Amino acid sequence: MANYDMVIIWVLCIQIVAGLYTIHEEFEPSTFFESFDFFTAEDPTHGFVDYVDKEEARSGGLIAQGNSSVYIGVDHVNRALGRGRKSVRIATKKEYNQMLVVLDLLHMPGEACGSWPAFWMVGSDWPENGEVDIIEGVNRQAENRMALHSNWQCMIDIRGYSGTAVTQNCFISAPDQPANAGCGISGPEGSFGAQFNRQNGGVYAMEWDDEDVLIWFFPRDGIPSDIVSRKKLDPREWGVPTARFHGGDCHVSSLLGPQRLVFDTTFCGDWADSDWGSSSCGRLRPRCTDYVATEPGAFRDEYWEIDSLRIYSKDRPPTTATTTFHVSCSGRATH
């Protein structure tokens, strides 16, 4: 082989190795809630919800954990009074910067009118540090809505992912979009809510690096083998992402600061309220809050059941070349 050809192959191999991720942190079910803070203030999205602390959540059956999974639910027994229906919002105690997050869900909320569940990440200085919504939807939505919210003008590409662009400007005050819409991409049917649960759940993976934020959705029967084996992960082998937040004027490294991972389920509020009348939910009650307050049984299935949550960090690429080749560098996908 010519020296020139060897250099080219070596460079390709460097790119592949640089894309591998190893486990950085795993949130074990038995100690899961020790890694999270419980939010108990008024809902910033104006939801009809009463977020409770850890002690009340546990005593009220809103959280539970075992050796194999974690449960995060809502009050589905009592009529809602005061601030609204009792629920849980938790955020990681730690902040993270550039990572690969893999969430295996056995069940998610999103089957009931009035609910607004989300799994997302947000900086402590919002909106300066930005926000990424990995899973989000309202009112029996069938498709997941992923989004990036920034405090700066940023237009994402409309190619490079399998989802459907809903809004392109990530700026929270974009003049041609609803307030705080951000740049949104809709996933396939079955990526959210009732249909997701009927398929025995699935996996969401989010990769954040200097150039992109990429999100993949894998149904239960389509999870990549490296995720199943829990070994080193290579997102370049996973095919086209469901969402890609990237563009000529979108420099992710400057849009996002350190982030905390968040799970929550709120009710009504800015988004679910505005969608209420245009969805089938409007036939149940004239107002979202009336339904949420008086129909506790409707929210029995509004819970997260987490099989695993892991954070991976990228391996450092090798710093010296080698003339011995043990891997094939052909056929790898790139951005």
Q: Among 231, 319, 330, 301, which residue's Cα sits nearest to residue 73?
A: 301
Give the number of other CB atoms < 10 A from CB of residue 76.
Answer: 19
Query: How far apart are alpha carbons 86 and 79 in whole angstroms?
Result: 10
Rounded-to-integer distance, Cα 68 and Cα 307, Å: 6
* Range 229-266 burial, b when 16+ CB lie within 10 A, else e: eeeebbbbebeebbbbbbbeebebeebbbebbbbbbbb
Judge if the upstream peptide bond of residue 127 is cis by omega within 30 degrees of 0. Answer: yes
Q: What residues are annotated to the active site?
A: 131, 136
CA dihedral 269, 270, 275, 276 (to 10 degrees): 30
Contact 252, 206 (CB under 8 A): no
314 within 8 A of 21, measured Cβ to Cβ: yes
Amino acid, single-letter form, for residue 21: Y
